[in-house]
């Protein structure tokens, strides 16, 4: 607040008479006080608002007229009054939580400033400018009440929704996850058990088994269901980009950061954050994640401002995360923080009995998506599906059925494209195949580099792996240099 300097307008009979016209016209109330604290100027707006007339106040110490009590009726000593404090210390003040009292004994909420008045560098008095803020206070009160009502309504709706979802899930067992096998029943039971807590969940399972579907159900059945579920696939970003994707960045934090951007952690505030492929996080991002989990706070890339968040964390991986810990690729402390409630999603080959139900669910979705009218899969077709090993799990089943649906001229799918002998049913053939492929590829690269592992021409560089990791993979896969 600026001080008022009267050098340009010398005081006549103490207070600004040549500006009287303006002061009389303004809608704010104005009181002028001399250094003794006596009122020397009262404008008509002040008279209208308070009912106290100039003749009642001029020449007097008026605190006991318009400012004698607090809002609650308790005594307001003059020594505490900001206007008189300005007279004592020359410091301007702005107040908006007090009341002024009318002559008839009623009061009104007031916003006022008290400003010292100077002439020739010498303080001459104080001006108090005030306005009645009853309407503003009333509007604020109504807004607060309306907001509280909306909030209460939204909480009621949210808990009703959550209750209905759980009841529906209980009645039908339906959380959008098809299947009736013991493994799927156990999975659904685990989802219902943990959904309504804030516990961190680690979902493991092969690709395409339904890990994201589980995460969506955990969110849908939680008390955070009406807040956002934010999903991030950690494998889709380079280490540097992932950090800014998760934590956000300030403008200019790095080349290309042309705008300030919120990260997914901020977007998920009060909701759920689902980190898919969490094993792909760089060690640096892992330390940051650990800090957010422990302290619930972080900084945007390029900023020192700490941001606090309230999120429920769900992570998923198709890796054996403990093995990644042993290989030094994943922090052990983070692993234990993430693995509070582990959920293992079974591979489709381990729940073949679910295939008929999955098939009818998928066909309904395909009919909607493709505008077809497929009614069922032939009996022989179902048999073929149940003999297949499904290395790509439910996603592969979806793809096979989508291809067949597009090609089929009849409402019954015969699955002529899928040959049962193609992939005999065995419980570990997928893992075996993956290991075999990895082994063959490593041997091929080793042969190219004449079995040199490290160095710029070594196999580790070609495979984009640290030499120590390559050595441990070779040991695990029993790869030895031929003598
Ligand atoms: N039990 C199930 N019932 C119905 N649909 C399922 C089931 N399991 C998986 N699906 C469907 O299969 C597809 C793949 O599932 P999802 O994306 O959840 O798998 P994922 O394990 O997260 O895959 P990835 O590891 O590749 O990310 C989705 O369309 C999903 O809806």
Q: Which pLDDT score, from 0 to 100, does residue 438 have?
A: 80
Residues 213, 311: one domain?
yes
> CATH number of the domain that 362 lies in?
1.10.8.60
Integer angstrom CA distances of residue 399 from 53, 77, 404:
87, 82, 9
Q: Which pLDDT score, from 0 to 100, does residue 17 have?
A: 54
**Which ligand 1 atom is nearest residue 276's CA?**
27
> CATH number of the domain that 187 lies in?
3.40.50.300
Q: Does any domain span residue 121?
A: yes
Residues 408, 469: one domain?
no
> CATH number of the domain that 25 lies in?
3.30.450.20
Mapped onto helix, strand or coil, the DSSP state of residue 130 is strand
Q: Which pLDDT score, from 0 to 100, does residue 296 have?
A: 87
Residues 113, 229: one domain?
no
Q: Does any domain span residue 158?
A: no
Measured in Å, residue 418 CA sits from the centre of ligand 1 at: 21
**Which of 212, 280, 320 best tests ligand 1's pocket when mutated (most atoms within 8 Å of CB)?**
212
Residues 327, 215: one domain?
yes
**Which ligand 1 atom is nearest residue 207's CA?**
25
Q: Which pLDDT score, from 0 to 100, does residue 9 have?
A: 40
Query: Could you say which of 329, 344, 359 is where a domain stops?
Result: 344
Per-residue pLDDT for the chain (483 aa), expressed as one digit of tens each? 444 544 444 434 555 555 677 778 889 999 999 999 999 989 999 999 999 999 999 999 999 999 999 999 999 999 999 999 999 999 999 999 999 999 999 999 999 999 999 988 899 999 999 999 999 999 999 999 999 888 888 877 766 666 566 656 554 445 678 888 999 999 999 999 999 899 999 999 999 999 999 999 999 999 998 888 898 998 887 777 888 889 888 877 676 667 777 888 988 999 999 999 999 998 888 998 999 899 888 888 888 889 999 999 999 999 999 999 999 999 999 999 999 999 999 999 999 999 999 999 999 999 999 999 999 999 889 988 988 889 999 999 999 999 999 988 899 998 877 754 344 444 444 445 667 778 888 888 888 888 888 888 888 888 878 888 888 888 888 888 876
Measured in Å, residue 188 CA sits from the centre of ligand 1 at: 14
Please, is 129 exposed, middle or buried when counting C-beta atoms within 10 Å of its C-beta (0-12, 13-18, 19+)? buried
Integer angstrom CA distances of residue 79 from 83, 90, 98:
9, 15, 15
Q: Which pLDDT score, from 0 to 100, does residue 301 have?
A: 85
Residues 181, 235: one domain?
yes
What total number of domains does the chain contain? 4
Q: Does any domain span residue 258?
A: yes
Residues 336, 215: one domain?
yes
Residues 191, 302: one domain?
yes
**Which of 184, 187, 315, 394 best tests ligand 1's pocket when mutated (most atoms within 8 Å of CB)?**
394
Residues 184, 204: one domain?
yes
**CA 266 – CA 215 distance, rounded (Å):** 19
Residues 330, 384: one domain?
no
Measured in Å, residue 264 CA sits from the centre of ligand 1 at: 22
Measured in Å, residue 270 CA sits from the centre of ligand 1 at: 25
Residues 461, 359: one domain?
no
Integer angstrom CA distances of residue 406 from 30, 70, 231, 383:
82, 79, 30, 21
Q: Which domain holds residue 465?
A: 430-476
Q: What angle do CA 252, 256, 260 make, to 5 degrees?
A: 45
Residues 13, 119: one domain?
yes
**Which of 172, 185, 213 best tests ligand 1's pocket when mutated (most atoms within 8 Å of CB)?**
213
Measured in Å, residue 396 CA sits from the centre of ligand 1 at: 10
Q: Which pLDDT score, from 0 to 100, does residue 219 have?
A: 93
Query: Could you say which of 285, 310, 344 is where a domain stops?
Result: 344
Measured in Å, residue 177 CA sits from the centre of ligand 1 at: 9
Half-sphere exposure in the Cβ direction for 263 (13 Å, CA): 26
Residues 257, 319: one domain?
yes
Residues with CB under 6 A from ligand 1: 177-179, 205, 207-213, 276, 318, 358, 361, 394-395, 398
């Amino acid at each position: 607040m600026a001080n008022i300097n009267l050098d340009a307008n010398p005081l006549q009979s103490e207070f600004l008479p040549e500006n009287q016209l303006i002061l009389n016209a303004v809608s704010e109330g104005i009181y002028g006080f001399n250094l003794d604290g006596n009122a020397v100027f009262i404008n008509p707006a002040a008279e209208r608002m308070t009912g106290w007339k100039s003749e009642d106040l001029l020449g007097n110490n008026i605190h006991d007229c318009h400012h004698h009590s607090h809002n609650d009726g308790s005594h307001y000593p003059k020594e505490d009054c900001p206007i008189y404090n300005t007279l004592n210390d020359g410091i301007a003040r702005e107040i908006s939580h007090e009341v002024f009292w009318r002559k008839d004994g009623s009061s009104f909420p007031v916003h006022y400033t008290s400003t010292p008045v100077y002439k020739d560098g010498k303080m001459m008095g104080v001006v108090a400018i005030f306005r009645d803020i009853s309407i503003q206070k009333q509007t604020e009160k109504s807004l607060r009440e309306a907001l509280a009502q909306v909030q209460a309504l939204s909480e009621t709706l949210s808990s009703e929704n959550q209750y209905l979802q759980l009841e529906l899930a209980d009645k039908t067992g339906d959380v959008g996850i098809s299947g009736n096998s013991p493994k799927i029943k156990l999975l659904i039971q685990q989802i219902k058990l943990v959904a309504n807590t804030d516990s961190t969940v680690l979902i493991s399972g092969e690709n395409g088994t339904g890990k994201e579907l589980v995460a969506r159900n955990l969110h849908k059945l939680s008390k955070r269901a009406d807040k956002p579920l934010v999903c991030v696939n950690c494998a889709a970003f380079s280490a540097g980009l992932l950090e800014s994707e998760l934590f956000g960045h300030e403008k200019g934090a790095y080349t290309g950061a042309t705008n300030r951007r919120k990260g997914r952690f901020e977007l998920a505030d009060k909701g759920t954050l689902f980190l898919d492929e969490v094993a792909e996080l760089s060690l640096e991002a892992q330390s940051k994640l650990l800090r957010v989990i422990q302290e619930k706070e972080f900084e945007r890339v390029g900023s020192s401002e700490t941001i606090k968040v309230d999120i429920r964390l769900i992570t998923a991986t198709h890796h054996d995360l403990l093995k990644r810990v042993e290989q030094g690729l994943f922090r052990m402390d983070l692993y234990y923080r993430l693995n509070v409630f582990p959920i293992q999603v079974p591979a489709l080959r381990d729940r073949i009995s679910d295939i008929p139900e999955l098939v009818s669910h998928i066909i309904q979705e395909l009919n909607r998506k493709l505008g077809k009218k497929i009614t069922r899969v032939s009996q022989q077709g179902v048999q073929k599906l149940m003999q297949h090993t499904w290395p790509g799990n439910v996603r592969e089943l979806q793809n096979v059925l989508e291809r067949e649906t597009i090609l089929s001229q009849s409402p019954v799918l015969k699955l002529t494209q899928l040959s049962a002998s193609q992939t005999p049913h065995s419980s570990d053939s997928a893992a075996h195949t993956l290991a075999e492929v990895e082994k063959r590829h490593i041997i091929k690269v080793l042969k190219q580099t004449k079995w040199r592992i490290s160095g710029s021409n070594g196999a580790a560089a070609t495979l984009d792996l640290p030499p120590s990791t390559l050595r441990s993979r070779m040991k695990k896969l029993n790869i030895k240099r031929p003598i």
